[in-house]
Amino acid sequence: MRNLQDRKTIVVGMSGGVDSSVSALLLKQQGHHVIGLFMKNWEETSENGQCTSAADFDDVRKVCEQIDIPYYTVNFTKDYQEQVFKQFLKDFERGWTPNPDILCNREIKFKVFLNKAKELGADFLATGHYAQIADLNGQSHLLVGQDSSKDQTYFLYTLTHDILDQVLFPIGHLEKTEVRELARRYHLATSEKKDSTGICFIGERHFRTFLSQYIGAQPGNFETLDGKVVGTHNGAAFYTLGQRKGMGIGGAGEAWFVVGKNVEKKVVYVAQGTNHPALFCEELEASDLSWVTQAPSSFPFPCQAKVRYRQTSSDCEIISLANGCLKVRFLEPQRAVTPGQSIVFYQNNICLGGGVITQPGASYYKLNKSLLSNYRNS
């Protein structure tokens, strides 16, 4: 945890969860002037009719009153719609599987929200992320959290060193079990509250039902790699590479998995078997790059990388970087490399940065030329 010598004014992004609650508690105990700030980014009720943001703010109020700090709420629903949700829908419509949490961190939490914290006179913005910040060679670097099972650097790779200079992650040096124990020890109202899941600020929804409110149905076929029709679907946008459930394809043999999509032709390609070769590739391309300090200057550049959250980092090398696009080769084949998801680079426990996957390399399966062309242009 970053050591602050003097008393600082620190705005804590309060979500109504246990992690941000303990973050505020720790900073208060260190003698800082702490302000709780709650963001409202989504105004719709959940599927069961509850206004989740109202319930979350009530938990923020309880915790802030318990630890005796002022608290406020800000409404960024318009910013979220314009800068996150519109892009989220656009990516789905073109057949990608976007990660709104990453875009929300870049555009809302550590831009709009950080600016609001500064307006309130904050020296730092603190959040309950499981990540760490260290000063290395005169620059702030992003380090993985102490609790490897909760590390959130995958979602934070777009934070540059100048942003990290203004940010604190008070619980990044703790295990989740320690955070829960602190909340219980001080009887915080959120001590037993379950961790939030689902889409950033939108929460848990029946995903296909939620998405169909914004993206019209585009019925098409499930096809095998040799062109055999094995079922129908309501839209390729509702499926992602590596998906197993929710396709309604029966029959003998192993389970079916999504291995490719062609949105224009409304085709979702499927194959049987958890380890079908069409699910694996060794290379990928990525764009929309962001580096915490600076981009690699020589190639090939050896490092480790993740192509999804909760994945163990795998050895790879960045082959080239040109015109805002990079190519990456893994030492071992990666499963279900998905356009729209991010690849995030590491060197040991340091997060270097990352980018959005635009195209997986050709799979191990020997696709015929026309199918491979369709897959790449989907």
Dihedral, CA of residue 282, residue 284, residue 289 and residue 290, to nearest 10: -20
- The β-bridge partners of 143 are 132, 350
Burial label, 229 (beta-carbon count in 10 A; 0-12, 13-18, 19+): exposed
> Is 316 labeled as catalytic in the residue annotation?
no
How far CA 186 is from CA of 13, 23, 27, 169, in Å, comes to: 20, 13, 14, 20
Active-site option among 104, 281, 303, 316 = 104
> Is 281 labeled as catalytic in the residue annotation?
no
Active-site option among 51, 64, 200, 316 = 200
- The β-bridge partners of 306 are 344
Closest of 270, 157, 162 to residue 224, by C-alpha: 270
Contact residues for 301 (Cβ-Cβ < 8 A; gap 6+): 317, 318
Instruction: Tell me the pairing of strands 167-168 and 256-262.
Output: unpaired
- The β-bridge partners of 221 are 232, 267
Catalytic residues: 104, 200
